[in-house]
């Protein structure tokens, strides 16, 4: 990822460029797979989300929000499409997981999921300690310290719920199957605590 390193409240984090360019200079875009259509505006995105059962949600006037009635998920986007960043794209991908697996939406930057064009591996990093998350035991300790609790609704997944929110983190049971979309889900739901880096 490219951007500017910002030091705030004792935490250093990478703030991405607003144009969503990756480390290799390629622009990240959200793609609707059945039509192979690049999402170029909120009007295009809204049509795709409506077709997947999402509805506009008007609770926060500063944001463009969508809610899926059958879930606890809420997609929150900046009102200005020019401020639509990769973290928002990954949030859409993660919250449309079944559709993503069946080929409805994906984020395009590099071929492959875990390794970029440079061949470097993506890793999840806890910002305040600068620790690379190398196991679920390490991740679980960090999430517990942030108020997350284990959630046991689906026996095939490792899940965490934050009591004060509607957020649910769902991960594969095997740490070796942790992919960048899972990492970005953790980043989006813990905004200033984690980041994803190329190693």
Q: Which residue has the higher pLDDT, 68 or 9?
A: 68
Q: Which of 70-84, 99-113, 129-143 has the lowest mean pLDDT?
A: 99-113
Question: Could you give the CA distance from residue 194 to residue 79 in angstroms, rounded to a whole number?
Answer: 24
Which tokens in the block code for residue 169? Answer: 């983190």
Among 12-21, 58-67, 134-143, 190-199, whose mean pLDDT is lowest? 12-21
Selection from 160, 150, 154, 162 nearest residue 182 by Cα: 160
Is the whole model's pTM more than 0.85, yes or no? no
List Cβ neighbours of 89 (8 Å cut-off, separation of 6 or more): 20, 28, 29, 30, 107
Distant-in-sequence, close-in-space partners of 84: CB < 8 Å, separation ≥ 6: 20, 42, 77, 78
pLDDT tens digits for 43-83? 988 998 998 889 998 877 888 999 988 777 888 899 998 88
| Residues 150-185: tens digit of each pLDDT | 988 778 889 999 888 878 898 988 898 888 888 888
Q: What is the separation, in whole angstroms, between the first and last Cα of the chain? A: 12
> Domain map of the chain by residue range?
29-108, 114-198
């Amino acid at each position: 990822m490219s951007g500017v390193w910002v030091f705030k409240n004792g935490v250093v984090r990478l703030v991405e460029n607003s144009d969503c360019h990756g480390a290799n200079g390629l622009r990240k875009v959200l793609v609707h797979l059945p039509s192979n259509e690049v999402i170029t505006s909120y009007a295009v995105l809204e049509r795709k989300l409506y077709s997947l059962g999402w509805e506009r949600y008007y609770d926060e006037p500063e944001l463009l929000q969508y809610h899926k009635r059958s879930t606890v998920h809420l997609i929150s986007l900046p009102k200005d499409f020019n401020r639509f960043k990769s973290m928002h794209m990954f949030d859409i991908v993660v919250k449309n997981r079944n559709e993503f697996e069946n080929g409805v939406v994906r984020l395009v930057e590099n071929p492959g999921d875990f390794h970029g064009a440079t061949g470097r591996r993506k890793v999840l990093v806890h910002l305040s300690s600068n620790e690379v998350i190398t196991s679920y035991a390490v991740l679980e300790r960090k999430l517990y310290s942030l108020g997350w609790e284990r959630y046991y609704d689906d026996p095939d997944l490792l899940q965490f719920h934050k009591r004060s929110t509607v957020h649910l983190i769902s991960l594969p049971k095997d740490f070796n199957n942790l992919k960048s979309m899972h990492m970005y889900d953790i980043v989006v739901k813990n905004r200033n605590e984690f980041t994803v880096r190329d190693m």
